[in-house]
Amino acid sequence: MTTQHEIDAAIAKAATGGGAHHPARDYPPYRSSALRHPKQSLVPVVDPEAVELTGPVFGVTDVTELDRDLTLGHHGEPHGQRITVSGRVLDRAGRPVRGQLVEIWQANAAGRYAHHLDQHPAPLDPNFTGFGRCRTDDDGAYAFTTIRPGAYPWRNHVNAWRPAHIHFSLFGTAFAQRMVTQMYFPGDPLFPYDPVLQSVTDQSARDQLVAEYVHDLSTPEWSLGYRWDVVLDGPSATLFEDGDR
């Protein structure tokens, strides 16, 4: 049985980043990284728990079953293909990581986020806000019902489009243990043209970011099913955004 100490250690280790497959800080095809990456030595935090004094909290309400279904809670049905995304959160030995907060956020079916900074001229969906959360169960499993997101343009280069993806955030027992990554959909024709995904130059690490369509997970006349497992650390670890960069 996985102890809480082992879970905390795995999440804390993964949250620090530094994996062998992380791209360079100034990966040239991802043009904005030249403006974003730190050019000076990082300043260590003397008291790692000090971030808890100013960091955001997990939420103002308890996590409920309603939070895992992004198609509910509005006046009508959202536009787009309904999908179910499920999987397990595992440690390096394949053991379930229980009780962890999993959050997702995404664009709508037209490829637009419900956020004031997204000015992509695609329609907003009044019945889709694009974020949800749940906790892993005793088997380390999570599940969301949502809408398959659309691709969207970005101004990295001429005719730049991001493949459809869902952002994932996983928490340990403290905000400082947060990890963020992206899940993609199989067979997307935009993969070769996306410098964000292509910056992961190791093919096996890149493949781990792509969900698997599983027909048995699809619900008849309701939703298509995708499975995406998350491994916190070890040789098969899922690639997370590098918090050390």
Find the catalytic residue in 167, 178, 184, 226: 167
Find the catalytic residue in 22, 82, 148, 162: 162
Asked if residue 216 lies in contact with residue 243, where contact means CB atoms within 8 angstroms, the answer is no
Q: Is 30 a catalytic residue?
A: no
Helices (H), the chain: 4-15, 33-36, 195-198, 203-207
Q: In this structure, how many other beta carbons lie within 10 angstroms of the beta carbon of residue 43?
A: 7
Distance spanning both ends of the chain, measured CA to CA: 33
What residues are paired with 79 via a beta bridge?
none
Structure tokens at 244: 């050390």
Q: Is 226 a catalytic residue?
A: no
Q: Which residues of 191-208 are buried (b: 16+ CB within 10 A; e: fewer)?
A: eebbbbbebbeeeebbeb
What residues are paired with 105 via a beta bridge?
131, 167
Find the catalytic residue in 22, 133, 148, 165: 165
Find the catalytic residue in 27, 68, 88, 113: 113
Q: Is 165 a catalytic residue?
A: yes
Q: Is 113 a catalytic residue?
A: yes
Quick one: DSSP state of residue 150?
A: P
Q: Is 152 a catalytic residue?
A: yes
Positions annotated as catalytic residues are 113, 152, 162, 165, 167
